[in-house]
Structure 1
Amino acid sequence: MPEKLKDVMARLAPERRAKVAARARELADEMIAHADGLAAARRAHKKTQEEIANTLHIRQNAVAQLEKRSDLLISTLRKYVGAMGGELELVIRMANGSSMVLENIGELSRPEPLLPGASMARKAGRATGGAASDALRAKPAGGRPKKKRGVRETRPS
């Protein structure tokens, strides 16, 4: 019968266990730095689709759909990264070595749906002027004021 990793680790000397743990952290950091898509980034941060869904107030299958998309709204990506406990930063790197951090891009003045069908429902409600359109356009209590979009330049390193 194969041995369990925890049993093998328990037999190691404390300094060896520390080296193994340090290497594991290195590999995890490398995996995070080179995540191939949203699902890989989520797994690298030991989050489940269910945890992300609960934070975003959507269903787990909606998170699965988001992770399969190759083209996302920046606001959706910002929300997803925030649900993982991160912050999205957009940086433009120019050929001459300069870079610019785009600020307030993808921040919304009103909540946007994460699922494509919800935006169509909003448009349909607006066209008919029904109660659904009023509910979809309702602003949250204490809504945020609109921020000005801007660009912050950084010096080349």
Structure 2
Amino acid sequence: MARTMEQFIANLSDEMQASIAKETQRLVAEEMTLRELQRIRAMSQRKVGEVLHVNQAMVSQIEQSTDIYLNTLRSYIEALGGELNIVVQFPDRAPMNIHQFSDLEKVHSLDDEG
């Protein structure tokens, strides 16, 4: 009879279970959506909109978008108090930061994306 993953993990040592839990949290943290970032920063969509000078509906639209301008993404992250970094990873090299976009002029306004 096959065991579930939970049953398998339950039979591991406490140390191994803690290690698995920590790695699980790390992996989940790497895969957050913009909405989840906004929630963990404890900022309402209205407050983010105030910082970005857009309405709450536009913030919601940004959070649901799967295709977003870099300037919009950077502005959103900065509104939450963060900094956007773009990292490229190749299998045969260490991760590299791309700095080409760090000084972009604001070419498109947030309202142009709607």
TM-score category, normalised to shorter length: 0.5 to 0.7
Aligned to 2:66: 70
State the secondary structure of the residue aligned to 1:105.
Answer: coil
One-letter amino acid matched to 1:108: L
Structure 2 Cα separation of the partners of residues 50 and 86 of structure 1? 18
Shift in CA distance, 114/106, structure 1 to aligned 2, threshold 3 Å? farther
Structure 1 Cα separation of the partners of residues 33 and 106 of structure 2? 27
1:38 aligns with 2:34: yes
State the secondary structure of the residue aligned to 1:72.
Answer: coil
How far does residue 117 in structure 1 lie from its aligned partner after superposition? 6.0
Aligned to 2:47: 51
TM-score by length of 2: 0.68
Question: Runs ≥4 in structure 1, deviation > 3 angstroms?
Answer: 29-32
Output the aligned Cα RMSD.
Answer: 2.5
Instruction: Please identify the structure whose Cα radius of gyration is greater.
Output: 1
How far does residue 61 in structure 1 lie from its aligned partner after superposition? 0.7
TM-score by length of 1: 0.50
Shift in CA distance, 59/87, structure 1 to aligned 2, threshold 3 Å? same
Aligned to 1:112: 108
Gapped runs of 5+ residues in structure 1? Answer: 1-25, 119-157
How far does residue 107 in structure 1 lie from its aligned partner after superposition? 3.7
Residues 93, 99 of structure 1: 8 Å contact kept: yes
How many matched pairs? 91
How far does residue 97 in structure 1 lie from its aligned partner after superposition? 3.2
State the secondary structure of the residue aligned to 2:49.
Answer: helix
Structure 2 Cα separation of the partners of residues 86 and 49 of structure 1? 16
Residues 74, 106 of structure 1: 8 Å contact kept: no
Choose the corresponding residue for 1:101, options 80, 85, 97: 97
**Percent of residue pairs identical:** 26
Structure 1 Cα separation of the partners of residues 48 and 34 of structure 2? 11
Structure 2 Cα separation of the partners of residues 102 and 117 of structure 1? 24
Residues 89, 101 of structure 1: 8 Å contact kept: yes
